[in-house]
Amino acid sequence: MGHETAKKPPPPARAYSYIRLSSKRQANHDDRTRYRDGFRRQVEMREDYLRENPHLTLDDTLKLHDIGVSGYTGANAARGGPGKLAAFQKAVDDGLVPKGSYLLMESLDRFTRTQVTTAQMMLLALVNAGIIVVSLTDRMVYRNEPDDQASQANFMFSVMTLMRGHEESRMKSIRLQKTWEEKRRTIGTRKLTKRVPGWLNLVDDKFIENPKRVDVVRRIMGWLADGHGRDRIAEFLNKDPDPDTHCWGKGHQWHGGTVQKVTDNRALIGEFQPHKLAFEEVNGVRVSRRVPVGEPVLDYYPRVIDEELWARARAVADKRRMGKAPNAGGRQGTVISNLFGMVATCADCGRLMNYRDRGPRSTPVLRCSGERSGNCTNTYRIPYDDNQNAILSWLVTLDLSGGSKGEAARLDDLLRTKVAMRAELKERGSAIVRKFREFMEYADEPLREIAAEQARLDREIVDISATLTALKATNALDERVEAVGELIRLTRNRAAATTEPEIKAADEESFMGRTRMRQIIRDTFTAMRCHPDGRIEIDTIDGGRHLFRDGYWWNEEYKGWIPWAGAMFGMGYRATRAELRRRGEWLAKAEAAHPPMYWQDVERAKRTGSG
């Protein structure tokens, strides 16, 4: 009598669940739409398989969820990358996953959609390490059993599955590319995408401005043009109690990065730059990046700021980016005592002039930092307040719209030359790469030299562009007049403040006004040299040179030293009697040297037409 041999149950083993979704939207657990049901579906298939195979125990110590990760580019399996499949492979290599363990996935196209040769190598690497891979949709099992014909047939089937998955993704990519090419071709008749800048809405294929957000954008660009850093701007916005000022989009508050996304966006002046996805191999992984396609489309969006504000703000931003702006990237204080910081230098040693104020009974001065450390003999203390007043009085009369003869044309020519030199350097670098393509170590040194030279040219181009922007600004004089007037108003408000809240509010307003004035000075001055005899020479971006001393400025038209505007109306100077006597002595000599016309005669000369 024959005996039936009982089939032995399979030995117990661990099971690991791998879930991949190419889009984060598919991870939504909303059951109302099948499109967003990918995550739940894969979990249910895994649970069904585990119930059918009770010898398997789910090990969830490794959370193998690649959500929003492409299998077509291989990003989920790139060694050293953030992909969870790569993490599982490393755990296998390190012996953390025992042989005989199962890896469960919905289908092989969740595993990878790369080219079939690469995909097969990935699958075989796991199988040869003793891992049993299960495709839950078709119940295909891939294990290392060379003598099992059924197992070998499964691997033959895997080739077709992997090839089909790759081909589907490739065709989808091609169709999507052609769709976007057609959209770009018809961009003049219909909008390319529903995604719009945060200050606009798309209604019936037309862009509509959000007035409150447009106002925020203009304030942001104005602050940047006035010299405030992006972190500081974010601080201003976050402190504003108006809910319309709060950060739009997914963020809960502004920070330097979100402010930069606004300030660097050329959509502010109406431009739209189409992009496309380009793919390249990085460490054996096919990765994508957005690259511009064609020329920018002008007037695609409604312009919300004018070209001049854009140019002034970009000039400040570019200087910060190149490390040319004083305090670039650093945190500023809450008080700006010295409007000439990082501009005023000693005429003898070239070092910065430091602001010094020893209290209410003293007179604030500028002092050579080299002299303080014993490295310079310029001991003159430049009276700060009186010279600040004289320089601001002169600044509201300075007209840069014409500039010195030919200065704008000279800078235009110089800018074109520098840009051409940069292009030539780029071509030299490309030629070196082509020549030493297979032996790049020989190209390292010449490429480093080219990179250093190109960085120097970039800084010069930023400087020249910023100078041209300020020189060509049509309303520069009006802006200076307004800024000085605002500074006077804020100074009066601060002097009149008595309560703590009033003083705090006045200080905050004063900080804003003085920051704006400081930026105007930095945009206008190319040099400010302080001499040992008290003279101050200021060079301006139009090529002019201007003289100041002890609260007076030299007027070339009238050939005389003119006091600051307040002194003309009896407001006087902040100086001791001894200091005033000293000033009177050099002023008398100066007037004796130029007797025809000095400041007291200016109005009479205008009335009579003499001189």
Query: Which pLDDT belongs to residue 29?
Result: 47
The stretch 5-12 carries a mean pLDDT of 69
* Cα–Cα distances in angstroms (integers) from residue 136 to residues 19, 111, 129, 533, in the given order: 12, 12, 21, 89
- What contacts 137, CB < 8 A, 6 or more positions away? 45, 106, 107
Q: Are the C-beta atoms of 351 and 369 separated by less than 8 Å?
A: yes
Mean pLDDT within 28-45: 63
Per-position DSSP letters for 24-41, written without gaps between them = GGGG---TT-GGG-HHHH
Summarize pLDDT for 287-319 with one digit per residue, the tens.
566 777 666 777 888 899 988 788 888 888 877
Quick one: which of 191, 183, 169, 167 has its CA closest to 276? 183
The whole-number pLDDT of residue 501 equals: 85
What pLDDT does 608 receive?
45
pLDDT, position 134: 87
Averaged pLDDT score across all residues of the chain: 76
Q: Which of 100-104, 191-195, 570-574 has the lowest mean pLDDT?
A: 191-195
Sequential DSSP letters for 60-83: -SS-EEEET--TTTTTTT-TTSS-
Task: Kindly state the tokens that stand for 428.
Answer: 């030299």
Q: Specify whether the CB–CB gap between 154 and 135 falls below 8 A.
A: no
First vs last C-alpha separation in the chain = 141
Taking the C-alpha atoms of residue 55 and residue 394, their distance in angstroms, rounded to an integer, is 90
Higher-pLDDT residue of 60, 412 = 60
Side chain identity at residue 275, one-letter code: H
Q: In this predicted structure, which of 174-178, 445-449, 570-574 has the lowest mean pLDDT?
A: 174-178
The neighbouring-strand residues paired with 19 are 65
What's the whole-model pTM score? 0.58
pLDDT at 52 over 80: yes
Q: Does the structure show a pLDDT above 80 at 54?
A: yes
Q: Which residue has the higher pLDDT, 548 or 516?
A: 548
467-485 tens-digit pLDDT: 667 666 645 667 778 888 8
Nearest to 102, CA basis, from 18, 43, 19, 14: 14
Let me know the angle formed at the C-alpha of 266 by 458 and 295, rounded to the nearest 5 degrees.
80
Average pLDDT of 365-384?
A: 92
The model's pLDDT over 100-119, given as tens digits with 9 standing for 90+, comes to: 899 898 877 776 656 556 66
Q: Which residue has the higher pLDDT, 140 or 55?
A: 55
Which residues have C-beta within 8 Å of that of residue 40, sequence separation ≥ 6?
Answer: 29, 31
Q: How confident is the model at residue 461 (pLDDT cuts 50, 70, 90)?
A: confident
Question: Which of the four pLDDT bands, split at 50, 70 and 90, describes residue 376?
Answer: very high
Confidence of residue 5 (pLDDT cuts 50, 70, 90): low
Q: What is the 3-state secondary structure (H, E, C) of 300-339?
A: CCCCCCCHHHHHHHHHHHHHHHCCCCCCCCCCCCCCCCCC
Tokens of 601: 């005669």
Antiparallel, parallel or unpaired: β 285-292 and 275-282: antiparallel
pLDDT at 509 over 70: yes
Q: How confident is the model at residue 599 (pLDDT cuts 50, 70, 90)?
A: very low
198 vs 467, more confident: 198
Please write down the long-range contacts of 571-579, taking CB distance under 8 Å and 24 or more positions apart: 573/383, 573/386, 574/363, 574/383, 574/385, 574/386, 575/363, 575/383, 575/386, 575/550, 575/551, 576/363, 579/363, 579/383
The residue whose two tokens read 């953390």 is 96
Name the residue with higher pLDDT: 163 or 65: 65
Question: For the ranges 18-22, 378-382, 458-462, which has the lowest average pLDDT?
Answer: 458-462
- Residue 331's pLDDT band (cuts 50, 70, 90): very low
Coil/strand/helix, residue 393? helix
Residues 256-286 have pLDDT tens digits of 888 988 998 888 988 887 766 665 555 545 5
| Best mean pLDDT range from 75-79, 217-221, 224-228 | 217-221
**All structural domains of the chain:** 13-172 (3.40.50.1390), 200-321 (3.90.1750), 344-401+474-608 (no CATH)
User: Over the range 414-442, which residues count as b (16 or more CB within 10 Å of their CB) and which as e?
Assistant: ebeebeeebeebeebbeebeeeeeeeeee
Residue 490 pLDDT exceeds 90 = no
Task: Looking at mean pLDDT, say which of 94-98, 487-491, 535-539, 563-567 comes out highest.
Answer: 535-539
DSSP character at residue 7: P
354: helix, coil or strand?
Answer: strand
- CA-to-CA separations, 398 to 143, 209, 486, in angstroms, rounded: 84, 37, 17
Q: Is the pLDDT of residue 184 over 60?
A: no
* CA separation for the pair 219, 548 (Å, rounded): 35
Angle of CA points 214, 220, 224, to nearest 5°: 145
pLDDT value of position 115: 59
